[in-house]
């Protein structure tokens, strides 16, 4: 079975990329046991708690990230440099229990996957 990595690099609610990525993760998780999510660049904002998307007339899909462990998904990674660039503390990441890795370590982890799908 192929190892599949999903890379989230866009902020939530500014486009449909995050929601579509989450839908793809849920679909692929039914077919593959080795799936991981990587949050880099503005994608780290997908993990912030207390978002209020209704104020911009968007659906709150971010809470759905919290059910991913119920689908036996356990590998979630966030880039420490992306967090630092945006002034985000790792404690503010509430949507998933992510491992915060340096860019070098994150890249090394990403290289372990056969397919990379970006959103």
pLDDT over 90, % of the chain: 58
Q: What is the pLDDT of residue 61?
A: 75
CA distances from 56 to 9, 27, 43, 100, 115 (A): 20, 27, 18, 29, 34
CATH number of the domain enclosing 113: 3.40.1260.10
Q: What is the pLDDT of residue 48?
A: 86
Predicted TM-score of the model (pTM): 0.90
Q: What is the pLDDT of residues 59-78, one digit of tens each?
A: 777 778 888 888 889 999 99
Q: What is the pLDDT of residues 29-69, one digit of tens each?
A: 888 889 999 999 999 999 987 776 666 666 777 778 888 88
Partners of 6 in beta bridges: 37, 117
Q: Which domain does 54 fall in, by range?
A: 4-118
């Amino acid at each position: 079975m192929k190892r599949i990595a999903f890379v989230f690099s866009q902020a939530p609610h500014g486009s449909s990329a995050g929601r579509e990525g989450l839908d793809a993760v849920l679909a692929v998780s039914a077919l593959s046991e080795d799936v991981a999510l990587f949050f880099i660049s503005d994608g780290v904002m997908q993990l912030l708690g207390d978002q209020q998307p209704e104020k911009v007339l968007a659906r709150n899909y971010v809470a759905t990230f919290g059910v991913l462990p119920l689908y036996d998904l356990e590998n979630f990674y966030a880039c420490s440099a992306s967090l630092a660039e945006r002034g985000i503390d790792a404690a503010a990441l509430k949507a998933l229990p992510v491992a915060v890795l340096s860019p070098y370590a994150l890249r090394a982890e990403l290289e372990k996957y056969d397919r990379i799908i970006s959103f």
